[in-house]
Amino acid sequence: MRTTAGHDEFNGVAGLDGHVGRLEAAFTALGERASSKKCKGMEGLIDEGSDRASKRGSEAVRDAGIIAAAQRVEHYEIAAYGCAIAFARLMGHQQVVALLEETLAEEEEASEKLSALAEDEVNQHAFAVSTAMHGGH
């Protein structure tokens, strides 16, 4: 989705650096081996965003849709990390809590940047373009 966005600031919003490393460190701290599993919910959100990104039409309107889809992904991740932190805290795994809280903070920051980008620029531009295309309706 990011590479399809026409807005340069969007491409630098979410950094995945460190997320995988912290998850692997959390598994190691728990004495477990990290493995990946496809998440159907996340897959659906990404598919929806990719569909939005491939739509023809105004770049501004497409960017607004891509940001909305990316925000849904961020909120899904925020919920997942929040739940994992709650369980780690309940089980007394403070090292894991600290690792997950660092990633959660990055996810929340990405969500805030997306909201600011949408509210301050992209949505207004998309509205103006859409209004012009549809005669003010």
Residue keyed to tokens 């807005």: 7
pLDDT band for position 129 (50/70/90)? confident
pLDDT at residue 2 is higher than 90 = no
Q: Of 60, 57, 47, which is closest to residue 7 (Cα–Cα)? A: 60
Q: What would the mean pLDDT of 14-37 be, rounded to a whole number?
A: 87
For residue 15, what pLDDT is reported?
Answer: 56
So where are the chain's domains?
A: 2-133
pLDDT in tens, 59-91: 888 899 999 999 999 999 999 999 999 999 999
- Domain at 2-133: CATH architecture: Up-down Bundle (1.20)
Do 69 and 55 contact (CB within 8 A), yes or no? no
pLDDT at residue 3 is higher than 50 = no
Q: What would the mean pLDDT of 115-136 be, rounded to a whole number?
A: 85
* pTM, entire model: 0.81
For residue 36, what pLDDT is reported?
Answer: 87
Token digits for 83? 């739940």
Q: What would the mean pLDDT of 4-25 be, rounded to a whole number?
A: 68
Backbone angle region of 24, left / alpha / beta, with phi > 0 → left and psi within -120 to 50 → alpha: alpha
